[in-house]
Amino acid sequence: MMSCNHTFSETFEYLLLNRSNMWDSRTTTPAAPLRVCLAIIMMLMIAVGFLGNSVVCIIVYQRPAMRSAINLLLATLAFSDIMLSLCCMPFTAVTLITVHWHFGDYFCRLSATLYWFFVLEGVAILLIISVDRFLIIVQRQDKLNPRRAKVIIAVSWALSFCVSAPSLAGWTIVEVPTRAPQCVLGYTEFPAGRAYVVMLVVAVFFVPFSIMLYSYLCILHTVWKNTIRVHNQSDSLDLRQLTRAGLRQLQRQQQVNLDLSFKTKAFTTILILFVGFSLCWLPHSIYSLLSVFNRRFYCSPSFYTTSSCILWLSYIKSVFNPIVYCWRIKKFREACIELLPQTFQILPRMPERIQRRIQPSTVYTCNENQSAV
C-alpha cells in the first residue's frame, strides 16, 4: 500500500516501477512478421501522407487564387497530418520492429502530447468545414471568408494545445511503451487522471462526431428536398410556350442545377472524409477509455497486439485525406502531375500557352463558393 503523504511524482514513479516489474513478463508482442509488416506499411503511410498533404499546402501557398476560406482550412488539415506523420509515426514504426522504446521517458511524454495535439487540430478543422457546409447548404449563410478562417484556425491551434498540454505537464499518467508501441494513456485510479482522459476522448471524437453527424444528416435532407424541387419545376416548364420570361426562368433553372450539382459533389467529398475519420477513430476512442478504466483490459497479455493494430488504424487518417482528394478532385490530380519532376512524367509536358489553347478550362475563376482544392 502507498501512504497518503506521497507526492504525485513519487506515486507516479512507484506505479511505473511496479507496472514494469509486474507486467513486462506477462506482455506478449505480435509475431515478428506481423510487426515488420505493420512497420513497413507505416513507413509507406509516412511517405504517402507527407507527399500527398504537401501537395495541398503547396497548391494553396503558390496560387493566390486558391487561398479561399475552405482551401485555407484544407491546407491546415493537411499540415496537421504532415506533422503527425513526421513527429509520431517514425518512432512508432521503430518501436514496432524492435519492441523497445529507445527515445527516453521525456520524449515519451512529448510524443504523446504531439500525437493528441495534431489529432485534435485535424478533428477541429474537419468540424469547422462541416459546420461551414451546414451553414451554406442548409442555412444559406456563407459567412466564412479568408480573414475569418485565419482567425478560426489560430483559435483552433491554441485550443488544441491547451487540451493536449496536460500530458506533457504530468497531470496524467502516460505509460512508457513497455505495453504498447507508442506512449499511451495508461490505467489509473486517480479521479483527475480519469476525468482528463474522458475530456480528451470526448473532445477528440464524441462531440465532433455528434455535431458532424447532425450537420450531414441535415445537409442530406436539404439536398434531397432541393433535388425534388428542381425536378418538379423542370417538369412543369412547358417548352412549347417559351417566352422571354420563360427563357430567363430556364436559364435560372440551369444555374440552380449547376450550383446544386457542385455543392452536392463538394459535400460528398467532405462526407467521405467524415466517414474515414469515424472508422479510424471510433476503435481508438473505445480503446483509450478501456485502457484507463479497465485494469483487466490494460493488464491483459494481448494488450500490446491490440495497441499496435489500433494505433496503426488511427494513423491511416493522415493518409486517407490526400487519397480522397486525388480520387474526387480533378484540380488536385492536375496539380500532382504538374509538381512531378520531368523525369517521372510519362507524357511530355506541354507549354502552358499551348495547353490553355487546347484545354481552356485550365484558366478558371475561383470564387468563395467554388474554390475547393
The grid cell for 316 is 491511416
- pLDDT at residue 179 in the model: 67
- Tell me: the pLDDT tens digits for 112-124? 889 999 999 999 9
Q: How many domains does the chain have?
A: 1
- Separation between Cα atoms, residue 217 and residue 137, nearest integer Å: 12
In this predicted structure, the answer to whether residue 157 has a pLDDT above a threshold of 90 is: yes
Is 361 among the domain residues?
no
- pLDDT at residue 208 in the model: 94
- pLDDT at residue 189 in the model: 84
- Tell me: the pLDDT tens digits for 302-341? 888 888 888 888 898 888 888 888 888 777 777 777 776 6
- Tell me: the pLDDT tens digits for 88-106? 899 888 888 887 888 878 8
- Separation between Cα atoms, residue 59 and residue 67, nearest integer Å: 9
Is 177 among the domain residues?
yes
Stated pTM of the model:
0.77
Is 330 among the domain residues?
yes
Q: What percent of the chain has pLDDT over 70?
A: 70
- Tell me: the pLDDT tens digits for 159-201? 999 998 887 776 566 666 566 788 877 788 888 888 888 999 9
Domain that holds residue 298: 37-233+251-338
Phi, psi torsion values for 184, nearest 5 degrees: -125, 160
| Band (23; pLDDT cuts 50, 70, 90) | very low
Diameter of the chain measured on Cα atoms: 92
CB-based burial label for 330 (10 Å; 0-12, 13-18, 19+): exposed
- pLDDT at residue 170 in the model: 63
**Mean predicted lDDT score pLDDT of the chain:** 76
Phi, psi torsion values for 175, nearest 5 degrees: -80, 125
- Separation between Cα atoms, residue 203 and residue 191, nearest integer Å: 18
In this predicted structure, the answer to whether residue 243 has a pLDDT above a threshold of 80 is: no
Average pLDDT of 73-85?
93
| Band (350; pLDDT cuts 50, 70, 90) | very low
In this predicted structure, the answer to whether residue 46 has a pLDDT above a threshold of 50 is: yes
In the 3-class helix/strand/coil scheme, how is the chain assigned residue by residue? Answer: CCCCCCCHHHHHHHHHHHHHHHHCCCCCCCCHHHHHHHHHHHHHHHHHHHHHHHHHHHHHHHCHHHCCHHHHHHHHHHHHHHHHHHHCHHHHHHHHHHCCCCCCHHHHHHHHHHHHHHHHHHHHHHHHHHHHHHHHHCCCCCCCCHHHHHHHHHHHHHHHHHHHHHHHHCCCCEECCCCCCCCEECCCCCHHHHHHHHHHHHHHHHHHHHHHHHHHHHHHHHHHHHHHHHHHHHHHCCHHHCCHHHHHHHHHHHHHHHHHHHHHHHHHHHHHHHHHHHHHHHHHHHHHHHHHHCHHHHHCCCHHHHHHHHHHHHHHHHHHHHHHHHHHCHHHHHHHHHHCCHHHCCCCCCCHHHHHHHCHHHCCCCCCCCCCC
| Band (60; pLDDT cuts 50, 70, 90) | confident
- pLDDT at residue 311 in the model: 87
Cα-Cα end-to-end distance for the chain: 59
In this predicted structure, the answer to whether residue 370 has a pLDDT above a threshold of 60 is: no
Is 45 among the domain residues?
yes
Average pLDDT of 283-292?
90
Domain of 130, CATH number, reads: 1.20.1070.10
